[in-house]
Amino acid sequence: MDSLAEHGLRSPTGELHGMNAFAAPCRRTRRTCGEREPGAAGEREPEREAEHEERELRELAARIGILEERLEELRQERDFLRTQVENLIMIHGMTAQKALPNPERRGLWARLFGR
């Protein structure tokens, strides 16, 4: 049974009662859906609410601090890896350059006999 049927706002055929069904009083509690029961779960005392908000703020500030530390660690790791990649690219380029034939580099005999 859904909440509308439980409160007497939906008929067994599934139709809503009246144009403004939510303003109709509930058959079980005799209150409209907009009215709150005294001491409902959403209502807190102002002092407890302030304590709760302060605790939440402290927890969030701690979480932000942890995340900022992790971010700094990740930035350092990124910079280190970037340096490693640049070094590898340079070494690979030098190796590839040495592998290419250089027409100016001739052997001793070729230079002696003009070949």
Residue 61 makes CB contacts below 8 A (sequence gap 6+) with none
Q: Per the structure block, which two tokens stand in for 102?
A: 């250089």
Predicted confidence (pLDDT) at residue 41 exceeds the cutoff of 60 = no
Looking at residues 45-51, what average pLDDT do you find? 86
The three-state secondary structure class of 16 is strand
Average pLDDT estimate for 70-95: 94
User: What pLDDT is stored for residue 45 in this prediction?
Assistant: 81
Mean pLDDT (the chain) is 76
Domain boundaries, the chain: 1-38, 66-99
